Structure 1
Amino acid sequence: MNAMTLSRRGLIGSFGALAGSALVPRAAFASAAAEARFPAVSRMIEGYVGSGKLPGMIAALGAGSSAAPLDIARGTLAKISQTPVDMDSLFRIYSMTKPITGMAAMMLVDEGKLRLDQPIADLIPAFAKLQVQVTPDGSITDLRPAKAQITVRHLLTHTSGLGYSIIQKGPIKDAYIKAGLVPGRASRMPLPGLEGFKPLANLAQFTEVLATMPLVYEPGSVWSYSVGLDVMGRLIEMVSGQPFDQFLQDRLFAPAGMDSTWFRVPEAQVARLTTNYAVAAGMLLPIDPGRSSIYLDAPPCPFGGAGLVSSPRDYDRFLRMLLGFGKIEGRQVMSEAAVRLGTSNLLPEGADVSQSFIKGNGFGAGGSVGLGEDAGTYGWGGAAGTVAFVNYRAGIRAGLYTQYMPAETYPVHREFAQAVLADVTGKKAAV
């Protein structure tokens, strides 16, 4: 791999806040080439799995858009499993769904079916007249009319002013949950704060109910993590004439050779599915066992913000396609112009990121991007410990896969980016 100049912030600034047994043997299939090329990544993975903090972890790393990925793996699908994690194991990627939805949207922007600065009320009139909280996360009755319309750009960059049940506090959070506006799944077990929660039936209903809620911020004014990419899934349905999940299958997954990425894991593939854990008081509590996972059921909606399960091999193909500017193995999945635009900084002028966890970075179509000397990095992480990115300057792609919640329990996202930086540039990883 090319040890081009990369700054620490360019690799890790986007991911730092996104949040077994000590005798676990090294996986027999671990790539010796990968171990030698990425010693810092190897040490990181060994540290988590060898210490028993996590039952399994795998990194998929590659150069350019043509070379097959190298993998470094430790551990098993679950604490009680004997099956080692590998490139075909299945992981809940949660918010790593967002870059996929973002690139699907960029296809339609490229084709002229959507415009970045198009008001979404053009397609969903219920969003035409919105109210904004006078105090963010405060009263949901002390409101004022929105001064601006939500646009496609706002949805893609988390500047729409929409809320998120995993981010907001107080009455607006409670109102989202009560209305069924929780765009994701974690467990069959009742989780604190979600007792009695009833999901909405489809993306059309989700967006119509969402439009009745007050905005947290004025559209275009503040970067605030939101359900914007879930709304984007509905817009994709409307302008493509296909269900969102079918559009992804036909236009992205099949052309890119991604045959293990689903909103619902087929019953025949259950043996590949990892177990997801909650970390509490240093213990791992299984909240979604692979063999009985909620992801074996059809989801209420194909959520574009956090709904997918994928394998390291599949997601690496997505990254390969991005590094190839839309092309993988000779097939042009999306145009070069669409990739370049989607991986560039699309934040509206003047949007405040000073209090956000992307501070110092920009944001593209569903993923964070580096700025200035850090330009060229694009990617995002997930709520259960996964993270993936490309860096165009170095010509690298990197993904890390494990399963635990909440993601901020361990600094996995930050440490992985630091380790990749150390291995690519030869610089010592910061502690």
Structure 2
Amino acid sequence: MRSLAFAAVAATLTLSSAISAPPTSTVTIDKARIDRSLQDMVSSGRAAGASALVWKDGKEAYFGTAGYADREAKRPFSRDTLVQIFSMTKPVSGVAFMQLWEQGKFGLDDPLSMYLPEFANAKVFVGKDTAGNPILVAPRRPILIRDIVRHTAGFGYGPGPTYPEEAFAKADPLNLANDLPEFGRRLATVPLLYEPGTKWRYSAGVDVQALLVQKLSGQPYEEYVRQHIFEPLGMKETGWTQPESILPRLAAGYAKGPDGTLQRKSEADFRHMNFNPERKLTMGGAGLISSVDDFMRFARMLVNGGTLDGVRILKPSTVRMMATNELDARVTDRQWLPDKGNGGFGIDFAVRTGQPKDTQENRGAVGEFFWDGAWSTLFWVDPANKLTAVFFVQKDPFDRSLHRDIRRAIYGDDYLGPTGD
């Protein structure tokens, strides 16, 4: 444990130095270049519509749109278009969680079972016996709070080929008919995919954070986030539960069809997480609808070290900790995280720790922290350049080429940023 703590301190010092160091080249926002990038996404058939908003040095540096929010209705993507941001909900949940950490409600190295006893008897799947029965053993160490914020707990995130993933599908913890306590009870019955702390695997850990916020604060999770994040930041249009009146502003989702063209997703796809009176589950990991200006207020708070317009949401030291790589060097199995760029993972954020390794990697600066969503939305916070960007699109499945292109348009092909390795 001491070696992990030392590694975390060293990583924090490295990131702090990277953030304070001047970049080796400055970012010049080329509005025409970004316009062309957005237009190409639409003209190439990769997106029905998109928007991008960039703030730099404390002021708006770019806003632009291309294409349609609703192609069939010929409704253009505009500044007041609302989108479903899916996993971009996770950093919001991380901020809510770390507010309670600042209040001393828990420690990052506390066992999860101190607060959620249902996880005390977690078992790790290690294979099957000769009869085909699963072999489940007690973990070498308990799941720690730190594990649920960095996706190293051993949890799964849906169905799959392994026994734990089959058990996850059967338990169905993320069914929207479950409330958060029922989600936790069901997840606790699912065997772990691996020993806690040994691998990075995208998971339901952020939904466990939501359950903990609800339990430790004594407030329903959705109410807590609205009262402690959205209202203080003036994020008036962001939320899980949405009124029918906003539907005319909601962007349609589009999926790549068998012929390679974009096809409109069903009405049920648009409605089930936000306009469903039967929904009981407020997920920590997904479910928010937001506008580009609303979400930029969240990003600006982060680049400002936890404050926006005189309102403090987090301490600067807490934001730095969230933006520090938490993965031990021994955690080499990182699923698809390396596809995000040269870096690691902090507290509910991917973190860039080194310059792009090749020209195909996403542009960005060392010390940047970011996350994205299932329908290809993206935001990032770049402290070295005092820059934040929000990119909205509704394209399924996730399209990494859109992120590559918008980043190149904002940074330029030649930008490398400050050295971090």
Secondary structure class of the residue paired with 1:87: coil
Aligned pair partner of 2:191 in 200, 203, 214: 214
Relative to structure 2, which stretch is displaced further, 300-309 or 170-179?
A: 170-179
Aligned pair partner of 2:338 in 337, 354, 358: 358
Aligned pair partner of 1:95 in 57, 63, 87: 87
Seen in structure 2, the aligned counterparts of structure 1 residues 150 and 404 have a Cα distance that, compared at 3 Å, is same
Distance 1:57 1:207 in 2: 36
1:213-240 deviation per Cα after TM superposition (whole angstroms, max 9, x unaligned)? 1000111110111100011100011111
Alignment of 1:77-156 (within 5 A): 77-135=69-127, 141-156=134-149
Distance 1:143 1:162 in 2: 14
1:365-403 deviation per Cα after TM superposition (whole angstroms, max 9, x unaligned)? 211011156532001111101011011111110111111
8 Å CA contact 2:343, 2:354 repeated in 1: no
Distance 1:272 1:176 in 2: 35
Seen in structure 2, the aligned counterparts of structure 1 residues 41 and 122 have a Cα distance that, compared at 3 Å, is same
8 Å CA contact 1:62, 1:398 repeated in 2: yes
Seen in structure 2, the aligned counterparts of structure 1 residues 337 and 142 have a Cα distance that, compared at 3 Å, is same
1:323-349 deviation per Cα after TM superposition (whole angstroms, max 9, x unaligned)? 111111122122222212112222356
1:287 — aligned with what? 265
1:190 — aligned with what? none
TM-score normalised by L of structure 1: 0.81
Secondary structure class of the residue paired with 2:64: strand
8 Å CA contact 2:86, 2:373 repeated in 1: yes
Distance 2:412 2:336 in 1: 26
1:392 — aligned with what? 383
Alignment of 1:32-431 (within 5 A): 37-64=30-57, 66-68=58-60, 70-135=62-127, 141-165=134-158, 168-182=160-174, 199-281=176-258, 282-289=260-267, 293-294=271-272, 295-298=274-277, 299-348=279-328, 350-353=330-333, 355-358=335-338, 360-372=342-354, 375-408=366-399, 411-422=401-412, 425=415
Seen in structure 2, the aligned counterparts of structure 1 residues 426 and 338 have a Cα distance that, compared at 3 Å, is closer
Secondary structure class of the residue paired with 1:148: coil
Secondary structure class of the residue paired with 2:134: coil
Seen in structure 2, the aligned counterparts of structure 1 residues 297 and 354 have a Cα distance that, compared at 3 Å, is closer
| Offset, 1:148 | 1.3
What is the number of residues matched between the two proteins?
A: 380
| Offset, 1:404 | 1.6
Gaps of 5+ in 2: 1-20, 356-364
Distance 1:424 1:267 in 2: 46
TM-score normalised by L of structure 2: 0.83
Query: With CA pairs under 8 Å and 6+ residues apart, which has the higher RCO, 1 or 2?
Result: 1
What value does the CA root-mean-square deviation take over the aligned residues? 2.8
| Offset, 1:416 | 2.3
Distance 1:48 1:375 in 2: 27
8 Å CA contact 2:252, 2:270 repeated in 1: no
| Offset, 1:426 | 9.5
Gaps of 5+ in 1: 12-33, 183-197
Instruction: State the AA in 1 paired with 2:96.
Output: A
| Offset, 1:79 | 1.4
8 Å CA contact 2:306, 2:313 repeated in 1: yes
Distance 2:296 2:245 in 1: 23
Distance 2:156 2:210 in 1: 16
Instruction: State the AA in 2 paired with 1:283.
Output: T
Secondary structure class of the residue paired with 1:306: coil
Secondary structure class of the residue paired with 1:76: strand
8 Å CA contact 2:173, 2:182 repeated in 1: no
Distance 1:206 1:63 in 2: 40
Distance 1:91 1:6 in 2: 34
Distance 1:307 1:236 in 2: 17
